[in-house]
Structure 1
Amino acid sequence: MRQLDAREYKLLLNPAKFGNLLTKAHANEFWDGEIAPIIDRRWGGSLCVSNTFDKLIERVLCFWDTRDCALTAAEFILRSRVDASDGTADSGRQEIALKLRMADLFVRVIAAHVNDVRTPERETVTLLNTADVPIDLAGWQIKDKQKNAMSLSGSISAGATQVVEIKAPVARAGSSRF
């Protein structure tokens, strides 16, 4: 049996940044403007970052879960992926993965100030950018247990923290909605 030897992180991106449909032009613009500079700075130019996306590789993805969504509740994803580059799915080239959702690689919540007896109406969350580049928070959200979302804006400088005040519609920790 193979031992767990790696972690995988998935960053959900705002589709509106890509015109709601990811085209080759949008993918290359994102690569050139956002990803390649990070990789180049992180690995000092030792990786080839001058390439572009030139070929679409088609795959069939299936996500599996129990009827009561036990995997999703436990923050797991069971996924199968089959190459369909020639237009037909080939089960001989199937990959099956069990993924664990983990905290964001670059931005972490490092503190929460909740239920202060002096100012119970004011609650905050402190975010830390662990990357060596600024992180744009456009499209990011903070959600409560009921999935009510509060949009974030601005950016966090490399290595910096940002205190975010919790506002409606997100429920404060002392509220009955939590």
Structure 2
Amino acid sequence: MRHELDAREYKLLLNPDRFQEPPSEKVANTFWQERLKPVIQTLGSRDDEARHDGRFGAPSERIVRFWDAPKCLLTQSDLALRQRLPAENGMPTAERPEITLKLRMPDLFVVAATALPGSNEDARTTFEEDIAPLEIDDPQPDKSSVIVPLKRSIRSRFSLSTTQTAEWGEPHRTLGGLQSLFPTLRNNIASLQTEFRPSTSLVCGPDVREFVFKGARVKLGGDIVGKFALTLWYFGPTDSAPTVAEISFKCAIANGDMPGKAARRALALFVGMQTDLGNWVNSKHSSKTALALPGDCGRPVE
């Protein structure tokens, strides 16, 4: 059975130094009022009604970890394994985390035809298009920057992800434990022609304290609404600048389709965000997840 797209999400990394204050609605809404709204206004009005709507509310907090096997087996298979726990003041507020396994690739049809079920009753699978700026990491040694084209554009990857709550203590953090949660795991890494050893332990990247602000929206037409999320990741104390900042907007779609006019406005908005936000845009990294992976798993293969 081939999956149909559930949503399209446009993601742009921001300069984390712009968010040095502790997480607050004031910080998020200053960015909303002074930076994002003017970009949205360039799209024009909708029946004499502004296309921007709402505001960012109080953030939700989570503790996030990314996992992989030695030699980055999951990353090499285009898979990402994420653990999330709701938190308050840095302390978990739930016993069982959400475990997500995501396949992300540039090929729509390969991802759409992949089976990625979960074994628990609350498992849910979504199929989305992840849209980012057209850019690459600078290949020069010791460079920490990205290269972008003169004419800003986008690149798409397609992600199939399954999320479920699960026991995730030390005995479960093996390839075998992961296989019990995601029964097609062995098949999804078979292309690497690597022996699947169930006893192989998984390793994690740094603890990430995540704050997500939601509530701001953009009306794109044709009943398509883009819902913004401002995400801050702290790898250290929250009284300093976050390590990662990202602004995104997600558009839910029906029957795998998005009306042409709404798609054009979303594209214009995202390209406008890349240019009109100026030095608020991150110019050092192209991937949020890569920064949180264990060991060298987030580094490009040389």
TM-score norm. by structure 2 comes to 0.32
Could you say which structure has the greater relative contact order, defined with CA pairs below 8 angstroms and 6 or more residues apart?
2
Structure with greater strand percent:
2
Please, what TM-score do these two structures have when normalized by structure 1?
0.48
